[in-house]
Structures are given as structure tokens and as C-alpha cells.
Amino acid sequence: MKRILSGIQPTSKIHLGNYFGAIKQHIELQEQGECFYFVANYHALTSVNDPKTLRENTLDIALDYLALGLDPEKACLFRQSDVPEVTELTWLLSTVTGMGLLERAHSFKDKVAKGITPNVGLFTYPILMAADILIYQSDLVPVGSDQLQHIEMAQDIAGYFNNTYGYVFKRPEALLSPTPKVPGTDGQKMSKSYHNTIPVFAEDSALRKAVMSIVTDSLPLEAPKDPDCNTVYRLYELFASADEIAEMRNRFLSGGYGYGQAKRALLEKIDAYFAPARARRKELASNLDYVEQVLRQGAQKARHEAALTLKATRLACGLDT
């Protein structure tokens, strides 16, 4: 059985891009392999410096996964920081990783280009990510195309270590998300960095405000419209049946169909799609002891696997006899 590993940073409320780009796939994969999913709170420290916010966001991500269908009997869910072995492995991997590899990281260069003052944690982020992947001897890492370079870097780092000390780490492979980039309310990729998200668990006026804020062009009601260039239509495709998608497409092309009508149709779809998960989340939020138990049991299993790999790594390096 393939071992599958992925994590999500607790930096903000999850949105449609997170769900369709990653979480939906994670939930489906729990039926196909041995899954380890973690809340990446070590990683979040590069941008979240308020301890109360970090704790709340970390718990929120656990609630989100459980509400959206993660089964603790089928997948291991845990906090990254509950497996301290990963930080020791990060140091060991850093001793065989060249500066040039880290300097080529797209995510680091992009943040610097946006004027973000980098810290050492942001620069060495790929090594911690490699440690996350390698410490569980992961076979597959589901990611979006924008994260593909980090998987390639983890492959390189595993190779550096194996070439230096002998074989310890298997080569992980990326499992690309089947969903293309989810557009945000402004037409760019949906991202908290662009402030263009539609939160998964928003409801009532908050959800309506997010959907109705989607940017559209100024074509008049009667004019035909190109659905493939329209954010409302592209989001509607994620929720609707084939017949419903064909119907909306025909309305766009025929003219006489306003963006307000399309947004209302999208709003209804989002609201109905996530209604069961919203209800489950409210139930879970009233029983946080259960959520904490899931995280602790997940960490116990994860630490067992991590300890086996770290022991082999220390032995290879000459730290253990």
C-alpha cells in the first residue's frame, strides 16, 4: 500500500482553492492508501507570530478536515509540532543541502519580489518540507502544480543524503491535483495573499458578500458572453452537474443572461454543497475534546514512524552506535 503525505498551513480560513486544489483530493485518497496529513504549524511560524492566532488556526484546520470527511480510522491527522523528530531531521538534511538549491526556490524568490522581508525560516522552508516528507518514507505527495518544485527539491535532498551516507530515504513522487487553479473573486488564482478568497465555511451574508464581489466585465445584459473567460462560470463548473454546466454555458453564449443571475446560481450551489460539512463542523466544535484526541492519537502513530526513520538516519550519520 502506498504511503501518502501532505500538510496544510494554519495561516487563514480555508477557501475554495484549498478545498478543490488539495483537501478534496486528500479525503478521496484515504480510501486508496496509508495517509498521513498534518497541520503545518512549524511552517506557519514564518508568517504567523501571534500564539493565540496560531493555536486557533491549527485547531480550525483539524475541525475543517474532520467536517469535510476525513476519517481518523483511515487517515492519520496530527499537528506537525507534535512530532519533534522532524526538526532534528531538518538539521541533519541541512548539512548535505547546498545553498544554491534553496536560492532557486520559486516561493522564496516570489515573496522577496513582493517586498516581504525574508527570515531564515522562509529561506530554509524547503528543507523542513523535505523532512516532513522523508521522515514518513512517503511514496506520494499530493500537491498543486505551484508546489511541484518543493517535491523535486525533496527528491534532490534525499539523493544528497543517500549519496553521502548510504541509502536511507526512498524517493517521493508528486501526485498532482486533478483540479486546475481555482480562480479567486478577481480572476487571479484564489489565494489569501491576494485577498480574493471565498471561504469554505462562510454562510449567510458573509458567503453572499464574497460571491457577489466576483469581478465581471461591463457587457450589457443582452450581450452574448464568453463563459470560458468568466470567473463565475469557472467556479460554477466545480459544483454543478454536466447538464447544469451546459445550461449555464448556453445562457452565457445566447445573451440575455446577467452576471447577477449567474452569481445567484453559484451562491446556491456553494451553499448547498457545503451545508452538510458546516453542520458537522458545528457539532465537532462543541466537542473539542474529541478533536484533540484525534490529533494526539494521530501524533502517536506519526511519531512511531518518524522515530524509525530518525534512528536509521542518526545511525547512518554516525550519531548512534
244-303 per-position pLDDT tens digit = 999 999 999 999 999 999 999 999 999 999 999 999 999 999 999 999 999 999 999 999
Given this model, what pLDDT does residue 264 score? 98
pLDDT for the residue numbered 296: 98
Does residue 241 register a pLDDT over 80? yes
Strands (E), 177-248: none
DSSP type of residue 49: -
The phi, psi pair for 199, rounded to 5°, reads: -65, 140
Neighbours of 234 (CB within 10 A): 17
Which of 10-19, 66-75, 111-120, 279-288 is predicted with the least confidence, judged by mean pLDDT? Answer: 111-120
Q: Which of 13, 24, 74, 189 is catalytic?
A: 189
Active-site residue, selected from the candidate residues 74, 111, 114, 263: 111
What domains can be seen in the chain, in order of their start residue? 3-182+287-317 (3.40.50.620), 201-281 (1.10.240.10)
Is 189 in the active site? yes
Which residues have CB under 8 Å from 262's CB, separation 6+?
230, 232, 233, 236, 248, 251, 252
Judged against a pLDDT cut of 80, whether residue 180 lies above it is answered with: no
Quick one: CA torsion of 32, 5, 47, 13, rounded to 10 degrees? 10
* pTM reported for the whole predicted model: 0.94
Q: Residue 178: name the closest of 128, 139, 212, 142 by CA.
A: 142
Question: Is the model's pLDDT at 238 over the cut of 80?
Answer: yes
Whether 192 sits among the annotated catalytic residues: the reply is yes
Residue with cell 508568517: 47
Candidates 13, 74, 181, 192; catalytic one = 192
